[in-house]
Chains A and B, each alone.
Chain A
Amino acid sequence: MPAASPKVTVAAAFYRYGLFVVVLFLLLTFSLFNRNFVSGANAVNLLQQTASTGIAASGLVFVMVAGGIDISLGSTMFLSSVIVASAANAGAGLWPSFAIAIGCGALVGVVNGVCVALLRIVPLIVTLASLYAVRGVALSITGIQSVDFFNPVGDAVAYVRLGGVVPVVVVISAATLVLSQLVLSRTLYGRQLYAIGNNASGARVMGVAVRRNVFLSYVICGALAGLAGMVSGAQVGSITPSFSEGQEFIIITSAILGGVSLFGGKGTVLPGAFLGVLIIMCIENGLVMAGANMYLYTIVRGFVIFLAVMLDCLRNTGELR
Chain B
Amino acid sequence: MTPHPLELRRIRKSFSGVKVLKDIDLVLPDKGAILGLVGENGAGKSTLMNVLGGVLPRDSGELLLDGLPYHPAGPVDADRAGIAIIHQELNLFSNMTIAENLYLTGAPGTRLHLLSYRAMNRAARAELARVGLDLNPATRVSELSMGVRQLVEIAKALSREARIVVFDEPTTSLATHEKERLFRLIRELSEKGVSIIYISHALDDVLALCHHVAVLRDGTLVGQSPVREMTKERMIAMMVGRKLDQLFPWVPKRPGEVLLRVDGLGQGSIFRDVSLGLRAGEIVGMFGLMGAGRSELLRAVYGVDPFDAGRVLFRGAPVRRPEPSWWVEHGVAYITENRREEGLLMPKTVKENLVLANLRRLRRTLGAVDTRREERESEEAIGRLRIKTYDKARQAVRMLSGGNQQKVVIGKWLVTRPTVFLVDEPTRGVDVGAKFEIYSHLNALAGEGSAVLFVSSEMEELMGVCDRILVLSRGRLAGELARPEFDQHRLLELAIGGHDARSVA
Contact = CB atoms under 8 A, between A and B. Distances in A.
Interface of B: 75-76, 79, 91, 93-96, 100, 104-107, 110, 113-115, 117, 142-146, 149
Interface in A253-299: 265-266
Contact of A206 (B95, B104, B145): B104
B143 A3 contact: yes
Contacts of B145: 2-3
The residue among A182, A188, A192 with the most chain B CB atoms within 10 A of its own CB is: A188
Contacts of B110: 188
Contacts, number: 64
A199 B114 contact: no
Interface of A: 1-4, 182, 186-189, 191-192, 194-195, 197-199, 202-203, 205-208, 265-266
Contact of B104 (A2, A186, A191): A191
B417 to A, nearest CB: 31
Nearest to B112: A187
B93 A195 contact: yes
13 contacts: A1-B146, A3-B143, A4-B143, A182-B114, A186-B115, A187-B115, A188-B115, A197-B95, A198-B94, A199-B91, A202-B93, A205-B91, A265-B95
A191 B115 contact: yes
Nearest to B79: A207
A270 to B, nearest CB: 16
B146 A199 contact: no
Contacts of A198: 93-96
A265 B79 CA distance: 24
B151 to A, nearest CB: 14
Nearest to B146: A1
A208 B114 contact: no
Nearest to B80: A207
The residue among A182, A192, A207 with the most chain B CB atoms within 10 A of its own CB is: A207
Contacts of A265: 93, 95
A206 to B, nearest CB: 6
A265 B92 CA distance: 13
B403 to A, nearest CB: 28
Contact of B95 (A182, A186, A188, A194): A194
Contacts of A205: 75-76, 91
Q: Which 5 A-B pairs have the closest CB atoms?
A: A3-B145, A265-B95, A4-B143, A198-B93, A207-B76
A120 B19 CA distance: 35
B105 A208 contact: yes
A112 to B, nearest CB: 24
Given A3-B144, A207-B105, A187 B113 contact: yes
B114 A206 contact: no
Nearest to A65: B95
Given A4-B143, A188-B107, A206 B91 contact: yes
A9 to B, nearest CB: 8
Contacts of B76: 205, 207
A178 to B, nearest CB: 13
A277 B144 CA distance: 33
A208 B91 CA distance: 13
B258 to A, nearest CB: 35
B93 A199 contact: yes
Contact of A191 (B79, B96, B149): B96
Contacts of B114: 182, 186-187
Nearest to B142: A4
Contacts of A266: 95
Given A3-B144, A198-B93, A208-B104, 20 more contacts: A1-B146, A1-B149, A2-B145, A3-B145, A4-B142, A186-B114, A188-B104, A188-B105, A188-B106, A188-B107, A191-B104, A195-B93, A195-B96, A197-B95, A203-B104, A205-B75, A205-B91, A206-B79, A207-B79, A208-B105
A104 to B, nearest CB: 26
Contacts of A208: 104-105
Contacts of A195: 93, 96, 104
Nearest to A196: B93
Contacts of A188: 104-107, 110, 113, 115
A191 B107 CA distance: 11
B211 to A, nearest CB: 30
Contacts of B93: 194-195, 198-199, 202-203, 265
Nearest to A206: B104
A206 B96 contact: no
B91 A202 contact: yes
A195 B103 CA distance: 12
Contacts of A207: 76, 79, 105
A118 B145 CA distance: 37
A317 to B, nearest CB: 14
Contacts of B96: 191, 194-195, 198
Contacts of A191: 96, 100, 104, 115
Contacts of B106: 188
B465 to A, nearest CB: 37
Contacts of B79: 206-207
Nearest to A1: B146
A57 B96 CA distance: 22
Nearest to B113: A187
Nearest to B149: A1
A3 to B, nearest CB: 4
A172 to B, nearest CB: 22
B81 to A, nearest CB: 13
B97 to A, nearest CB: 10
A186 B94 CA distance: 18
A191 B104 CA distance: 7
Contacts of A189: 113
The residue among B105, B143, B144 with the most chain A CB atoms within 10 A of its own CB is: B105
Nearest to A4: B143
Nearest to B110: A188
A261 to B, nearest CB: 9
Contacts of B142: 1, 4
A192 B94 contact: no
Contacts of B149: 1
The residue among B93, B100, B107 with the most chain A CB atoms within 10 A of its own CB is: B93
Contacts of A203: 93, 104
A41 B95 CA distance: 40
Nearest to A266: B95
A180 to B, nearest CB: 14
A208 B103 CA distance: 11
A189 B105 CA distance: 9
